[in-house]
């Protein structure tokens, strides 16, 4: 330490700092300029670049963080999508309700609790010789069902799945225990052409009835009204099985 006083230090600095036109001084200036340039450039680079200056470990950690964030957001998105679908399901409920309503109507027609009308045929069986048996009526009904009849009525009795034909003690035909008398009128809603063809096939209902001495008239109509109703009765034993589907 050759410096004795404060002035000496500053003076030394000033003396050394005096411009000297030496080659080395110029070179030092160039180097200093390069240093300044490099410093500013580096600072600028450091500020402008985002991930470039991070190490591999930092990048891996960053990637992990991003992945976890993505997973979390994915879960959130799923939840929100589910909720949205639930909320949007109000219209789906509407569709399900109308479908259920439609199905209820169909089942009502099948079960005979609802009146039905539509295109169909009217089969009128005149039985002057009283030769028609309950089996013949059953055959006729089965034939109509095979031909696609959706609603059938015999005289004033609606034909449903559990309908039975029998003969009463007075030799009158009975449908579901209700005595009916000739002429027997079967009303069937369905495709008129198919059903009338089914009635008229050789060896079928009409020819069999003719052999029994009955005359059968089949008329097609675009508007047959099956208006006989059947009382709604709950099943006593059979309950809907909700545990299994199909």
Partner 1 sequence: MIPALGLIGGLLLGLFLHPDVPLWLQPYLPVAVIAALDAVFGAVRSMLDGIFSDKVFVVSFLSNVVVAALIVFMGDQLGVGSQLSTAVVVVLGLRIFSNVAAIRRHLFHA
Measured between alpha carbons, how far apart are the two ends of the chain, in Å? 103
Q: Rounded to the nearest whole angstrom, what is the least distance from the CB of residue 65 to partner 1 in the complex?
A: 20
Quote the CA–CA distance of 161 and 244 in Å, as a whole number.
Answer: 23
Quote the CA–CA distance of 181 and 142 in Å, as a whole number.
Answer: 20
Total residues contacting partner 1 by CB under 8 A comes to 39
Mask of contacts with partner 1, 7-46, x by CB under 8 A? Answer: --xx-xx--xxxxx-x-xxxxxxxxxxxxxxxxxxx-xxx
Q: Rounded to the nearest whole angstrom, what is the least distance from the CB of residue 63 to partner 1 in the complex?
A: 17
CA dist list (Å): 117 to 90, 131, 153, 180, 234: 33, 31, 11, 22, 25
Closest to partner 1 by CB, 37 vs 82, is 37
Closest to partner 1 by CB, 2 vs 244, is 2
Per DSSP, the chain holds a count of helices (H) and strands (E) of 6, 8
Q: Rounded to the nearest whole angstrom, what is the least distance from the CB of residue 34 to partner 1 in the complex?
A: 6
- Interaction of residue 236 with partner 1, rule CB under 8 A: no
In the range 163-192, which residues lie near partner 1 by CB under 8 A? none
Q: Give the CA radius of gyration of the chain.
A: 49
Closest to partner 1 by CB, 57 vs 93, is 57
Quote the CA–CA distance of 133 and 22 in Å, as a whole number.
Answer: 140
Q: Tell me the window of 3-11, 121-129, 169-177, 184-192 that interacts with partner 1 (CB under 8 A).
A: 3-11
Counting Cα atoms < 13 Å in the Cβ hemisphere of 34 gives 6
Closest to partner 1 by CB, 23 vs 236, is 23
Quote the CA–CA distance of 70 and 64 in Å, as a whole number.
Answer: 10
Q: Rounded to the nearest whole angstrom, what is the least distance from the CB of residue 78 to partner 1 in the complex?
A: 40
Quote the CA–CA distance of 131 and 137 in Å, as a whole number.
Answer: 11
Out of 55, 91, 171, 245, point to the residue binding partner 1 (CB under 8 A).
55
Residues forming the site for partner 1 (CB under 8 A): 1-3, 6, 9-10, 12-13, 16-20, 22, 24-42, 44-46, 52-53, 55
């Amino acid at each position: 330490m050759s410096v004795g006083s404060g002035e000496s230090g500053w003076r030394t600095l000033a003396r050394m700092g005096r411009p000297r036109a030496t080659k080395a001084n110029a070179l030092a200036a160039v180097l200093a300029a390069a240093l300044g340039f490099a410093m500013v450039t580096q600072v600028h680079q450091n500020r402008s670049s985002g991930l470039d200056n991070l190490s591999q470990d930092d990048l891996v950690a960053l990637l992990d963080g991003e992945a976890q964030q993505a997973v979390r957001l994915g879960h959130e998105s799923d939840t929100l999508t589910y909720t949205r679908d639930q909320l949007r399901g109000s219209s789906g409920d509407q569709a399900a309700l109308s479908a259920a309503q439609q199905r209820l109507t169909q089942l009502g027609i099948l079960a005979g609790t609802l009146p039905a009308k539509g295109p169909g045929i009217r089969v009128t069986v005149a039985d002057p010789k009283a030769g028609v048996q309950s089996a013949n009526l059953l055959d006729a009904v089965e034939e109509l069902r095979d031909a696609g009849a959706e609603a059938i009525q015999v005289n004033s009795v609606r034909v449903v799945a559990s309908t039975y034909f029998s003969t009463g003690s007075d030799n009158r035909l009975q449908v579901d225990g209700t005595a009916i008398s000739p002429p027997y009128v079967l009303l069937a809603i369905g495709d008129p052409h198919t059903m009338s063809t089914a009635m008229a096939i050789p060896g079928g209902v009409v020819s069999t009835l003719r052999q029994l001495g009955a005359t059968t008239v089949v008329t097609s109509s675009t508007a047959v009204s099956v208006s006989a109703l059947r009382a709604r009765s709950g099943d006593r034993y059979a309950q809907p099985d909700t545990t299994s589907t199909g």
